[in-house]
Structure 1
Protein backbone atom coordinates (compact mmCIF):
# COMPACT_ATOMS: atom_id res chain seq x y z
CA UNK A 1 0.00 0.00 0.00
CA UNK A 2 1.14 3.52 -0.68
CA UNK A 3 0.24 6.96 0.54
CA UNK A 4 -0.45 9.57 -2.15
CA UNK A 5 -1.79 13.08 -2.52
CA UNK A 6 -4.67 14.22 -4.72
CA UNK A 7 -3.92 15.56 -8.19
CA UNK A 8 -5.73 17.22 -11.04
CA UNK A 9 -7.15 14.87 -13.70
CA UNK A 10 -4.89 16.22 -16.47
CA UNK A 11 -1.55 15.63 -14.72
CA UNK A 12 0.24 12.51 -13.54
CA UNK A 13 -0.51 11.54 -9.96
CA UNK A 14 1.63 12.92 -7.18
CA UNK A 15 4.35 10.47 -6.33
CA UNK A 16 3.85 8.32 -3.25
CA UNK A 17 5.71 8.68 0.00
CA UNK A 18 6.35 5.88 2.48
CA UNK A 19 6.22 2.13 2.24
CA UNK A 20 4.78 0.23 -0.70
CA UNK A 21 4.06 -3.41 -1.28
CA UNK A 22 3.17 -5.45 -4.33
CA UNK A 23 4.19 -5.72 -7.97
CA UNK A 24 1.30 -3.62 -9.25
CA UNK A 25 2.05 -0.79 -6.81
CA UNK A 26 5.72 -0.89 -7.80
CA UNK A 27 4.98 -0.86 -11.53
CA UNK A 28 2.52 2.00 -11.15
CA UNK A 29 5.14 3.97 -9.24
CA UNK A 30 7.60 3.53 -12.11
CA UNK A 31 4.96 4.69 -14.61
CA UNK A 32 4.05 7.70 -12.47
CA UNK A 33 7.69 8.62 -11.84
CA UNK A 34 8.55 8.64 -15.56
CA UNK A 35 5.40 10.65 -16.35
CA UNK A 36 6.30 13.11 -13.59
CA UNK A 37 9.86 13.36 -14.91
CA UNK A 38 8.51 14.32 -18.33
CA UNK A 39 5.96 16.77 -16.92
CA UNK A 40 8.34 18.44 -14.45
CA UNK A 41 11.51 18.29 -16.57
CA UNK A 42 13.73 16.26 -14.25
CA UNK A 43 17.32 16.66 -15.44
CA UNK A 44 18.45 13.17 -14.44
CA UNK A 45 17.06 9.69 -13.84
CA UNK A 46 18.95 6.67 -12.56
CA UNK A 47 17.34 3.24 -12.60
CA UNK A 48 18.94 0.15 -11.15
CA UNK A 49 17.85 -3.47 -10.93
CA UNK A 50 19.37 -6.92 -11.34
CA UNK A 51 17.48 -7.49 -14.62
CA UNK A 52 14.49 -5.10 -14.92
CA UNK A 53 12.19 -8.11 -15.33
CA UNK A 54 9.34 -6.52 -13.30
CA UNK A 55 9.73 -3.00 -14.64
CA UNK A 56 7.12 -1.68 -17.14
CA UNK A 57 9.84 -0.24 -19.40
CA UNK A 58 8.38 -1.66 -22.62
CA UNK A 59 4.90 -0.20 -22.14
CA UNK A 60 3.86 2.37 -24.71
CA UNK A 61 2.96 5.00 -22.09
CA UNK A 62 6.34 4.66 -20.35
CA UNK A 63 8.31 4.96 -23.60
CA UNK A 64 6.19 7.93 -24.70
CA UNK A 65 6.86 9.63 -21.36
CA UNK A 66 10.58 8.90 -21.73
CA UNK A 67 10.46 10.37 -25.25
CA UNK A 68 8.83 13.54 -23.88
CA UNK A 69 11.36 13.68 -21.04
CA UNK A 70 14.50 13.14 -23.18
CA UNK A 71 14.52 16.53 -24.92
CA UNK A 72 16.92 19.12 -23.59
CA UNK A 73 19.90 18.55 -21.37
CA UNK A 74 19.05 15.23 -19.72
CA UNK A 75 20.96 12.23 -18.33
CA UNK A 76 19.68 8.68 -17.92
CA UNK A 77 21.72 5.97 -16.19
CA UNK A 78 20.88 2.27 -15.99
CA UNK A 79 22.61 -0.36 -13.87
CA UNK A 80 21.96 -4.12 -14.08
CA UNK A 81 23.61 -7.50 -13.72
CA UNK A 82 22.35 -8.35 -17.18
CA UNK A 83 20.26 -6.67 -19.86
CA UNK A 84 18.98 -9.94 -21.37
CA UNK A 85 15.47 -9.48 -19.91
CA UNK A 86 15.38 -5.86 -21.11
CA UNK A 87 16.15 -6.98 -24.67
CA UNK A 88 13.62 -9.84 -24.53
CA UNK A 89 10.77 -8.11 -22.71
CA UNK A 90 10.99 -4.38 -23.48
CA UNK A 91 11.31 -3.92 -27.26
CA UNK A 92 9.90 -0.37 -27.29
CA UNK A 93 12.36 0.67 -24.61
CA UNK A 94 15.28 -0.92 -26.54
CA UNK A 95 14.33 1.13 -29.63
CA UNK A 96 14.03 4.29 -27.55
CA UNK A 97 17.42 3.55 -25.96
CA UNK A 98 19.00 3.31 -29.44
CA UNK A 99 17.63 6.71 -30.43
CA UNK A 100 18.76 8.46 -27.24
CA UNK A 101 22.14 6.75 -26.79
CA UNK A 102 23.86 10.12 -26.38
CA UNK A 103 22.09 10.78 -23.04
CA UNK A 104 22.07 7.21 -21.71
CA UNK A 105 24.80 5.54 -19.68
CA UNK A 106 24.23 1.79 -19.29
CA UNK A 107 26.36 -0.09 -16.79
CA UNK A 108 26.46 -3.77 -15.98
CA UNK A 109 27.83 -5.83 -13.15
CA UNK A 110 27.53 -9.45 -14.33
CA UNK A 111 29.49 -10.96 -11.43
CA UNK A 112 27.39 -9.26 -8.74
CA UNK A 113 24.87 -11.18 -6.69
CA UNK A 114 21.49 -10.07 -8.12
CA UNK A 115 20.23 -9.43 -4.59
CA UNK A 116 23.08 -6.96 -3.96
CA UNK A 117 22.30 -4.59 -6.83
CA UNK A 118 19.85 -1.92 -5.66
CA UNK A 119 16.40 -2.06 -7.24
CA UNK A 120 15.68 1.63 -7.38
CA UNK A 121 14.67 4.72 -9.29
CA UNK A 122 16.55 7.88 -8.31
CA UNK A 123 15.99 11.47 -9.32
CA UNK A 124 17.10 14.74 -7.74
CA UNK A 125 13.47 15.23 -6.64
CA UNK A 126 12.15 11.79 -5.57
CA UNK A 127 13.40 8.24 -5.04
CA UNK A 128 11.94 4.77 -4.86
CA UNK A 129 13.77 1.67 -3.67
CA UNK A 130 12.61 -1.91 -3.46
CA UNK A 131 14.10 -3.37 -0.29
CA UNK A 132 12.73 -6.82 -1.20
CA UNK A 133 12.55 -7.09 -5.02
CA UNK A 134 11.04 -10.58 -4.94
CA UNK A 135 8.00 -9.40 -2.97
CA UNK A 136 8.12 -5.84 -4.36
CA UNK A 137 8.32 -4.24 -0.93
CA UNK A 138 10.06 -0.92 -0.54
CA UNK A 139 10.01 2.75 0.31
CA UNK A 140 9.66 5.98 -1.62
CA UNK A 141 9.99 9.62 -0.77
CA UNK A 142 11.23 13.14 -1.32
CA UNK A 143 13.42 13.40 1.80
CA UNK A 144 16.88 14.82 1.06
CA UNK A 145 18.68 12.26 3.26
CA UNK A 146 16.95 9.37 1.45
CA UNK A 147 17.90 10.84 -1.94
CA UNK A 148 21.53 11.45 -0.93
CA UNK A 149 22.02 8.00 0.59
CA UNK A 150 20.58 6.21 -2.44
CA UNK A 151 22.61 8.38 -4.83
CA UNK A 152 25.83 7.55 -2.96
CA UNK A 153 25.02 3.83 -3.15
CA UNK A 154 24.25 4.00 -6.86
CA UNK A 155 27.36 6.10 -7.57
CA UNK A 156 29.52 3.45 -5.88
CA UNK A 157 28.01 0.75 -8.11
CA UNK A 158 28.40 2.84 -11.27
CA UNK A 159 31.96 4.00 -10.56
CA UNK A 160 33.64 0.93 -9.09
CA UNK A 161 31.42 -2.14 -9.36
CA UNK A 162 30.29 -2.01 -12.99
CA UNK A 163 31.48 -1.65 -16.57
CA UNK A 164 29.79 -0.27 -19.70
CA UNK A 165 27.07 -2.57 -21.00
CA UNK A 166 23.94 -2.77 -23.17
CA UNK A 167 25.25 -1.08 -26.32
CA UNK A 168 22.74 0.91 -28.36
CA UNK A 169 23.55 -1.19 -31.41
CA UNK A 170 25.70 -4.13 -32.26
CA UNK A 171 27.95 -3.63 -35.25
CA UNK A 172 29.13 -6.65 -37.17
CA UNK A 173 32.23 -6.29 -39.25
Structure 2
Protein backbone atom coordinates (compact mmCIF):
# COMPACT_ATOMS: atom_id res chain seq x y z
CA UNK A 1 0.00 0.00 0.00
CA UNK A 2 1.41 3.38 -0.88
CA UNK A 3 0.50 6.76 0.44
CA UNK A 4 1.35 10.33 -0.38
CA UNK A 5 4.38 11.66 1.42
CA UNK A 6 4.15 14.52 3.88
CA UNK A 7 6.10 16.68 1.47
CA UNK A 8 3.17 16.53 -0.92
CA UNK A 9 5.36 15.42 -3.82
CA UNK A 10 3.22 12.35 -4.37
CA UNK A 11 6.13 9.99 -3.83
CA UNK A 12 5.36 6.73 -2.08
CA UNK A 13 6.03 6.66 1.64
CA UNK A 14 9.12 4.80 2.74
CA UNK A 15 8.14 1.19 3.26
CA UNK A 16 7.80 1.40 7.02
CA UNK A 17 6.44 -1.88 8.33
CA UNK A 18 2.75 -1.99 9.13
CA UNK A 19 0.69 -4.22 11.38
CA UNK A 20 1.26 -5.97 14.66
CA UNK A 21 4.92 -6.58 15.43
CA UNK A 22 6.90 -7.85 18.39
CA UNK A 23 10.37 -7.60 19.86
CA UNK A 24 12.78 -5.07 21.31
CA UNK A 25 15.05 -5.15 18.27
CA UNK A 26 12.05 -4.67 15.96
CA UNK A 27 10.99 -1.67 18.05
CA UNK A 28 14.47 -0.11 18.02
CA UNK A 29 14.77 -0.68 14.28
CA UNK A 30 11.39 0.96 13.68
CA UNK A 31 12.37 4.03 15.69
CA UNK A 32 15.51 4.37 13.57
CA UNK A 33 13.58 3.83 10.33
CA UNK A 34 10.88 6.31 11.35
CA UNK A 35 13.39 9.08 12.02
CA UNK A 36 15.13 8.46 8.68
CA UNK A 37 11.73 8.45 6.97
CA UNK A 38 10.75 11.70 8.72
CA UNK A 39 13.86 13.38 7.34
CA UNK A 40 13.47 11.98 3.83
CA UNK A 41 9.74 12.73 3.56
CA UNK A 42 9.81 16.01 5.47
CA UNK A 43 7.28 15.14 8.16
CA UNK A 44 6.11 18.45 9.57
CA UNK A 45 5.08 17.27 13.01
CA UNK A 46 6.35 14.39 15.15
CA UNK A 47 5.33 13.33 18.64
CA UNK A 48 7.58 11.00 20.64
CA UNK A 49 6.03 9.70 23.84
CA UNK A 50 7.28 7.24 26.45
CA UNK A 51 7.55 6.93 30.22
CA UNK A 52 11.31 7.65 30.13
CA UNK A 53 12.71 6.68 26.67
CA UNK A 54 15.27 4.44 28.41
CA UNK A 55 14.99 1.70 25.79
CA UNK A 56 14.71 3.89 22.69
CA UNK A 57 17.78 4.26 20.40
CA UNK A 58 17.63 8.06 20.61
CA UNK A 59 21.32 8.51 21.34
CA UNK A 60 22.51 6.66 18.27
CA UNK A 61 24.23 8.64 15.59
CA UNK A 62 21.80 7.45 12.89
CA UNK A 63 18.82 8.79 14.87
CA UNK A 64 20.41 12.13 15.73
CA UNK A 65 21.69 12.53 12.16
CA UNK A 66 18.18 11.84 10.88
CA UNK A 67 16.75 14.43 13.27
CA UNK A 68 19.41 16.88 12.09
CA UNK A 69 18.42 16.25 8.47
CA UNK A 70 14.74 16.58 9.41
CA UNK A 71 15.09 19.86 11.33
CA UNK A 72 14.15 23.00 9.48
CA UNK A 73 11.56 25.66 8.89
CA UNK A 74 8.00 24.55 9.49
CA UNK A 75 8.98 21.47 11.51
CA UNK A 76 7.85 20.72 15.04
CA UNK A 77 8.57 17.87 17.46
CA UNK A 78 7.00 17.15 20.83
CA UNK A 79 8.52 14.92 23.50
CA UNK A 80 6.39 13.57 26.34
CA UNK A 81 7.69 11.55 29.27
CA UNK A 82 6.95 10.95 32.90
CA UNK A 83 10.66 11.42 33.63
CA UNK A 84 13.26 12.98 31.33
CA UNK A 85 16.14 12.02 33.67
CA UNK A 86 17.09 8.80 31.83
CA UNK A 87 16.91 10.59 28.48
CA UNK A 88 19.32 13.29 29.69
CA UNK A 89 21.76 10.73 31.09
CA UNK A 90 21.65 8.18 28.28
CA UNK A 91 21.50 10.38 25.17
CA UNK A 92 23.97 13.29 25.25
CA UNK A 93 23.86 13.56 21.42
CA UNK A 94 20.10 14.01 21.51
CA UNK A 95 20.37 16.53 24.36
CA UNK A 96 22.88 18.57 22.31
CA UNK A 97 20.63 18.35 19.25
CA UNK A 98 17.75 19.59 21.41
CA UNK A 99 19.85 22.61 22.45
CA UNK A 100 20.68 23.45 18.83
CA UNK A 101 17.10 23.09 17.60
CA UNK A 102 15.28 24.32 20.73
CA UNK A 103 12.92 26.45 18.64
CA UNK A 104 11.49 23.27 17.03
CA UNK A 105 11.17 21.25 20.24
CA UNK A 106 8.55 21.22 22.95
CA UNK A 107 8.63 18.81 25.86
CA UNK A 108 6.16 18.04 28.61
CA UNK A 109 6.61 15.94 31.72
CA UNK A 110 3.45 14.00 32.47
CA UNK A 111 4.30 13.06 36.04
CA UNK A 112 0.69 12.57 37.14
CA UNK A 113 0.07 9.76 34.65
CA UNK A 114 0.45 6.20 35.86
CA UNK A 115 0.79 2.82 34.22
CA UNK A 116 0.03 2.82 30.53
CA UNK A 117 -1.83 6.14 30.53
CA UNK A 118 1.10 7.73 28.70
CA UNK A 119 1.43 5.93 25.37
CA UNK A 120 4.81 4.67 24.23
CA UNK A 121 4.45 5.91 20.69
CA UNK A 122 5.58 7.81 17.63
CA UNK A 123 2.90 9.88 15.93
CA UNK A 124 3.10 11.68 12.63
CA UNK A 125 0.33 12.93 10.33
CA UNK A 126 0.82 9.90 8.07
CA UNK A 127 2.12 7.01 10.21
CA UNK A 128 2.04 5.86 13.82
CA UNK A 129 3.84 3.35 15.96
CA UNK A 130 2.50 2.40 19.38
CA UNK A 131 3.85 -0.11 21.85
CA UNK A 132 0.86 -1.85 23.32
CA UNK A 133 2.94 -3.78 25.87
CA UNK A 134 6.33 -2.37 26.82
CA UNK A 135 7.40 -5.50 28.74
CA UNK A 136 6.78 -7.89 25.84
CA UNK A 137 7.42 -5.12 23.32
CA UNK A 138 4.34 -5.75 21.22
CA UNK A 139 3.57 -2.89 18.89
CA UNK A 140 1.30 -1.75 16.11
CA UNK A 141 2.47 0.34 13.18
CA UNK A 142 -0.26 1.89 11.09
CA UNK A 143 -1.23 4.40 8.43
CA UNK A 144 -4.94 4.00 9.27
CA UNK A 145 -6.53 7.43 9.74
CA UNK A 146 -8.80 6.29 12.58
CA UNK A 147 -5.90 4.80 14.54
CA UNK A 148 -3.79 7.96 13.97
CA UNK A 149 -6.64 10.18 15.15
CA UNK A 150 -7.36 8.07 18.23
CA UNK A 151 -3.68 8.05 19.20
CA UNK A 152 -3.37 11.80 18.60
CA UNK A 153 -6.36 12.46 20.83
CA UNK A 154 -4.82 10.37 23.63
CA UNK A 155 -1.48 12.12 23.20
CA UNK A 156 -3.15 15.56 23.24
CA UNK A 157 -4.92 14.65 26.48
CA UNK A 158 -1.61 13.60 28.05
CA UNK A 159 0.05 16.78 26.75
CA UNK A 160 -2.63 18.91 28.38
CA UNK A 161 -2.07 17.12 31.70
CA UNK A 162 1.69 17.68 31.55
CA UNK A 163 3.88 20.68 32.15
CA UNK A 164 6.91 22.07 30.28
CA UNK A 165 10.07 20.09 30.93
CA UNK A 166 13.41 19.07 29.37
CA UNK A 167 14.56 22.65 28.77
CA UNK A 168 17.27 23.37 26.23
CA UNK A 169 19.40 25.02 28.88
CA UNK A 170 19.57 24.76 32.63
CA UNK A 171 20.34 27.93 34.52
CA UNK A 172 22.39 27.48 37.65
CA UNK A 173 22.49 29.76 40.62
The residue that corresponds to 2:9 in the other structure is none
Q: Is the 8 A contact 1:107 1:165 kept in 2?
A: yes
Residues 99-152 of structure 1, C-alpha deviations (whole Å, 9 max, x = no match): 111110100012321432100000001000000011110101111111111001
Residues 83-103 of structure 1, C-alpha deviations (whole Å, 9 max, x = no match): 011011111001101111111
Quick one: distance in 2 between partners of 1:20 and 1:35?
19
The residue that corresponds to 2:30 in the other structure is 29
Quick one: distance in 1 between partners of 2:34 and 2:157?
23
> Shift in Å at residue 13 of structure 1?
5.5
Q: Tell me the TM-score normalized by structure 1.
A: 0.90
Quick one: distance in 1 between partners of 2:145 and 2:14?
21
Quick one: distance in 2 between partners of 1:146 and 1:35?
22
Q: Is the 8 A contact 1:81 1:114 kept in 2?
A: no
The residue that corresponds to 1:131 in the other structure is 132
The residue that corresponds to 2:168 in the other structure is 168
Aligned length: 161
Mapping 1:82-161, distance limit 5 Å: 82-159=83-160, 161=161
Which runs of 5 or more residues in structure 1 are unaligned? 1-11
Which runs of 5 or more residues in structure 2 are unaligned? 1-12
Q: Tell me the TM-score normalized by structure 2.
A: 0.90
Q: Secondary structure at the match of 1:147?
A: helix
Quick one: distance in 2 between partners of 1:32 and 1:117?
23
